[in-house]
Structure 1
Amino acid sequence: MRAEPSAVDELLAPEFHEIGQSGTHWTRQEILSVVTSDDAGDAAPVIDEEKAEIVAPGVVLLTYRLEFGGGVSRRSSIWRIRPEGPLMVFHQGTLAH
């Protein structure tokens, strides 16, 4: 997905923001400007412990564990579910040990 900025653009809500695992706050525009960078090489990500919870009508909290680029993190995102398709409103990554 990172190699297709237009696909990422369609999934991010206008008010999207992210707190990265380094603690950096990212805006939607900042994410879109770096979305094609791939500094983790050719390693395939491993995702497990996926969980989706409905937290309000039309709002889902997605959490999962990610192994990628030699590191492990826990991820969470908030999605707005609409008839036109889902939009990610917020994302956070936290280093895991």
Structure 2
Amino acid sequence: MVQKPFPSNPNKRKLFEFLHFDICGPMEEESLGGSRYLLLITDEASGCMSGFCLRARSESEGCLRRFITKEDKQFDARVKFVRHDGAKEFATNSLLA
């Protein structure tokens, strides 16, 4: 018996249109650079994951902004939606700008 192909998904997102992100830490041990946190950003369309080492949770917003700017310039991709776990670092509306 031959398996039929998966149906196409009309709601498929474009690259870097929908991002998920989360912070892990603090880690028990510091990295060689002094980082104790990890910011993980995942693109829903491609499944591409990018991780960034942070010394403090407060660095996460700036790191996320730099990532979005870089992807916008490199792939001409505008981020439309972001999803996170409601951590206080991302609870502000400053990411909307």
Could you tell me the TM-score, scaled by structure 1's length?
A: 0.27
Decide which structure has the larger Cα Rg and report it: 2
User: More strand per residue: 1 or 2?
Assistant: 1
User: More helix per residue: 1 or 2?
Assistant: 2
